[in-house]
Chains A and B, each alone.
Chain A
Amino acid sequence: MDNFFSGETHAWTLLTIVALAGVSVLSRSAFFLSDKDWALPQWVQRGLQYAPIAALAAVIVPEIVMTQGILIHTLRDARLYAAAAGVAYFFWRKGAGQVVLGTIVVGMAVYLPLHVGLGW
């Protein structure tokens, strides 16, 4: 067990981490805090239906087409083929159960040989 706990632990860092958990709670509950009666304007309500898919695309796309903040200029990148295979699987099997699980499995089945095997 002696080698298991590595590094020096600082009380201040532990406090910072607890505060970070607080940020998780408060950011996700930001508009739950006030009890005041208040409704969203109609156009915001309509606009919000696009927020989930936009948030996902904003997180995903840079992770697929960028490396260290720069757009990739090569087709020899395992992520491109893994993402394409995953999307193709999704729309092929759409409607079947657990199709997202299949997207992950098919994507990784393409990704790992290209990335680990060929170094793409």
Chain B
Amino acid sequence: MILQRAYRQDPEFRRGVVDMLGVAPGIAAWGLMTGVAMVKSGMSTVEALLMAAIVFAGSAQLASIPLILAGAPIWVILATALCVNLRFVVFSVHMRPYVMHLPLRDRLIAGYLTGDLTYVLFVKRFPQPGADAVERTGQMAYLVGNGGINWLTWTICSVLGVVLANAIPTQWGLGFAGILALLGMLCSLASTRLRWMAAVVAGTAAVAAFALPLKLNILTAIAAAVVVCLALEKAVQRQPTPRADGGH
């Protein structure tokens, strides 16, 4: 079982925790304001507490709350949440080779814990899936430590936001700290020119396609960035390079 002590004692577990702690204040402020928003939008306290405690998907929560309050059919609510979460499906394609050695239950736990920032930090730390059992255990230990802290921070702060909803001023815009946390992560990923290009293309496409329903602008933007960058990679390769080794 992936939550066992053997994983928690792996040095990568600590590393995963430390990496996530650096962005935790942003997640905390964002979770807090999501908790506040749930109550202010008119959910009952019990409903808001349950959602804060288990759903662990900020944008899907914010998208589904108005539908719940309007009494929309459950399949509409779930389909909306799924569409908002489609980027996670893309992430799961990427993460598959890292987790397939685990039994199904552990894969589901690993999936649940792989939010945006955990995915980004994980694939940054481990560009390739582990080659042997030791490496694979280390990678999963990192994932559990990193995702665990993300989950704890988000959940505790969302619950706090629900409890303190009437004491926290929403007009201060504290939730912007969450965007700054993501912005810092973006900067740390921008290590090559093509990755910068991916950010520029995706950011522009997300604004241009903003009118799409169900936050599909995000998936559109990811697709546009991947296609443009793959095409540019090809164009760069086709040009004769001055490298003497002729390698690729």
Chain A residues with CB under 8 Å of B47's CB are: 7, 9-10, 13-14, 17
CB distance from B192 to the nearest CB of A (A): 9
Contact between A47 and B229, CB atoms less than 8 A apart: yes
Q: Which partner residue on chain A sits nearest B120 by CB separation?
A: A52
Contact between A69 and B211, CB atoms less than 8 A apart: yes
CB-CB under 8 A for A59 and B74, given A20-B60, A101-B25: no
A interface, size bucket: 35 or more
Contact between B89 and A90, CB atoms less than 8 A apart: no
Q: Which partner residue on chain B sits nearest A87 by CB separation?
A: B187
Interface string of A6-44 (1 = CB under 8 A from B): 111110111111111101111111111101000110011
- Check: B77 CB closer than 8 A to any chain A CB: yes
- Check: B149 CB closer than 8 A to any chain A CB: no
CB distance from A95 to the nearest CB of B (A): 10
A104 contacts which of B25, B43, B78, B188 (Cβ < 8 Å)? B25
Interface string of B2-28 (1 = CB under 8 A from A): 000000000000000000001101100
Contact between A53 and B56, CB atoms less than 8 A apart: no
Contact between A6 and B45, CB atoms less than 8 A apart: yes
**Which residue, A15, A29, A69, A71, has most C-beta atoms of chain B within 10 A?**
A29
CB distance from A97 to the nearest CB of B (A): 8
CB distance from B8 to the nearest CB of A (A): 21
Contact between A57 and B202, CB atoms less than 8 A apart: yes
Contact between B104 and A27, CB atoms less than 8 A apart: no
Interface positions of A from 63 to 120, Cβ below 8 Å from B: 63-66, 69, 71, 78-79, 82-83, 86-87, 90-91, 94, 98-101, 103-105, 107-108, 111-112, 115-116
CB distance from B245 to the nearest CB of A (A): 21
Contact between B91 and A51, CB atoms less than 8 A apart: yes
Contact between B78 and A50, CB atoms less than 8 A apart: no
A8 to B97, CA, bound (A): 45
Chain B residues with CB under 8 Å of A54's CB are: 198-199, 201-202, 221-222, 224-226
Chain B residues with CB under 8 Å of A58's CB are: 87, 202-203, 205-206, 217-218, 221-222, 225
Contact between A5 and B206, CB atoms less than 8 A apart: no
A61 to B87, CA, bound (A): 16
Chain A residues with CB under 8 Å of B43's CB are: 7, 13
Contact between B61 and A20, CB atoms less than 8 A apart: yes
B81 contacts which of A18, A20, A44, A103 (Cβ < 8 Å)? A20
A40 to B90, CA, bound (A): 12
Q: Which residues of A contact B (CB under 8 A)?
A: 4-10, 12-21, 23-33, 35, 39-40, 43-44, 46-66, 69, 71, 78-79, 82-83, 86-87, 90-91, 94, 98-101, 103-105, 107-108, 111-112, 115-116
* Given A32-B104, A87-B183, A108-B176, 6 new contacts (CB under 8 A): A17-B68, A23-B81, A32-B107, A60-B183, A78-B173, A111-B180
Sample of 12 A–B contacts (CB below 8 Å): A16-B78, A17-B68, A23-B85, A25-B111, A32-B110, A51-B225, A56-B116, A61-B206, A100-B184, A100-B188, A108-B177, A111-B173
Q: Which residues of B contact A (CB under 8 A)?
A: 22-23, 25-26, 39, 42-47, 50-51, 54-57, 59-61, 64, 68, 74, 77-78, 81-82, 85-97, 99-100, 104, 107-108, 110-112, 114-116, 119-120, 123-124, 127, 163, 171-173, 176-177, 179-190, 194-195, 198-207, 210-211, 217-218, 221-222, 224-227, 229-230, 233
